[in-house]
Amino acid sequence: MSSLDAVSIAILLGAVLVMAGILSSLLALRFGAPLLLAFLVIGMLAGDSGPGHIEFQDVRTTYLVGSVALALILFDGGLRTRFQSIRAVLAPSMVLATVGVLLTAFITAPVAKYALDLNWTEALLVGAVIASTDAAAVFLLVHAQGLRLRPRVGATLEAESGSNDPFAVFLTLTLVELISVGHGSFDHALVELAREAILGAVFGVVGGRCVVIALNKVALPQGLHAPFVATAALVIFGAAQISHASGFLAVYLAGIIIGNRPTRAHNTVVTFLDAATWLAQIVMFVLLGLLVSPQRLVDSVVPAVAVALVLMFVARPLAVFACLAPFRFNWREKVFIAWTGLRGAVAIFLASIPMLVGLSKAYLYFDVAFVVVIISLIAQGWTLGTAARRLHVALPRTDRGPRRVELDLPGQLEQQLVGYSIRSKSLFYRRGLIPSWSKPTLVIRNQQILSPAEAEPIAPGDYLYLLAPPEKAESLDRFFVDMPPSSAPDPHLLGDFMVSGEHTLEELTAIYGIKVEEGEAKLTLADYFDVHLDNAPKEGATLALDTIVLVARSISGGRVNVVGLRLPEEEEVAPVLTRSEQLKRKLADVWASVAGV
């Protein structure tokens, strides 16, 4: 009976620790502390040196839990990655994920050698352990601080942090093998890296496509789609690892494949994996905290701090600037990407590998990684939002997205039901605008289900459900948040063939003699972009309007406020010039009335 009681006590204590970790997020958010740091502290307090007095030295279990957690985190990251968003930054991201990790490790190694009294191979192992950025840490802190990064910067960080872990794992395992065996060759290491990367890519692509086929062809009971996908991700990871391929690369690629294909229960899968990765991350950090010994940290804390400072202020910036030199990033973007190289669970997880194989200085690697993670989360995590705003890589966030309800429709994959609560200041309520690719289907009011015709006029507090393609559901958000206050157009953009986004198509018709669809004459140019673009407008976005082309020249609050007009080319030169001069004069009159000049 005593053994059964011990199991029950372990279950109770484990559940209490996880619950404490979850509740600590409220405190961390309230005071701005990085959440991951709170989980580590809870594990330390529960350990044998803290008030919890729990003796935990099971490195094998920690490695097992860490492998599962990291695989799920990478799979979830791939699942949320839109290939269109990272395609343009794929080259710089891959350079950062490979050459960047190697440069960071090499630049950090000399400091580790002399500060920690190691040989060169051991010093390089320290550099490899702490060289990669942590995807969970980066995006958890970005989202927690409500940052909306410039698309190129955000996509680069997303792709780099999601894909650099496999290379860091390979580099660490290679150096651990070299230290434990005592010999090895550079050529052999390169061959192994290429083989693991190629096989990992094959496992990821093939496994991802198999999961997509299974999701869409097999009639699973409701509620089992999400557990099936999570289990399939671990199957892909395990199969790749057994085949001596990169399992971490495989699950990341599998996530990208699944996330960018139409599948059943997509939103249920994403929600389930979000909770699963959150729980796995909490358990992982609590276990890593339990392994830490504060007494042991005292002996290595000073050299570990030196390694951390060199990593943050020298190694990472030099690696980022060197890797991004061939690409068109300005210095502000490079500085922010360098500062956002947060270290998290991956570094401590990699540091547990030498402990698992029993290297002589294994605990030193672990302690150094732990100190580096703590300093990174405190220094970089707390200043992430300030750095983004000071370096002008953060876009203004007018409002947090509305609470969106998404419901899959059995029997087809092209459409789903997307629901919103109607707000009095929303674009939909004020202007009655919705994209052309969405269709209002039903309205819920006072516990009653009505058709859109029966519910007219739709009032604030109603719930509107629309049919929309799953990949475009997020683009509906901007129609159901509070409209930002209108701002004056940028005076530097005002000139010939420019017009305010608040002018209507009817006014443009009077000037140009163009034809517009019936019922659209009263739309403003900004409304026209909102209705006909698939996604939120960006500078340079174009739309055809009869014989002319509208070009978004300036964006404010997520809407177009200055529109450029690209005129058609006539066959005869003289009429074009004459007409252009007339149009210029009319536009000048319009701008005079708008700008008050």
Ordered domains of the chain (ranges, CATH): 2-390 (1.20.1530.20), 405-479 (3.30.70.1450), 491-595 (3.30.465.10)
Residue 283's Cβ-count burial label (10 Å; 0-12, 13-18, 19+) is buried
Q: What residues does 47 pair with on adjacent strands?
A: 54
Give the pLDDT mean for 59-79.
83
Q: What's the mean per-residue pLDDT of the chain?
A: 78
Put simply, whether the predicted model's pTM sits higher than 0.85 gets the answer no
Determine phi and psi for 421, rounding to 5 degrees. Answer: -85, 135
Question: Has residue 351 got a pLDDT over 70?
Answer: yes
Determine the Cα–Cα distance for residues 381 and 134; give it in Å rounded to an integer: 12
Q: What pLDDT is recorded for position 259?
A: 86
Confidence of residue 383 (pLDDT cuts 50, 70, 90): confident
Question: Residue 291: what pLDDT?
Answer: 80
Check whether the bond before 92 is cis (ω within 30° of 0): no
Q: Are 149 and 95 spatial neighbours (Cβ–Cβ below 8 Å)?
A: no
* Winning range, highest mean pLDDT, from 48-52, 338-342, 493-497: 338-342
**Higher pLDDT pick, 445 / 276:** 445
More confident residue, 451 or 581: 451
Question: Which helix (DSSP H) or strand (DSSP E) does residue 305 occupy?
Answer: helix 294-310
CA end-to-end distance (rounded Å), the chain: 90
Decide which of 111 and 56 is more confident: 111
Residue positions counted in the chain: 597
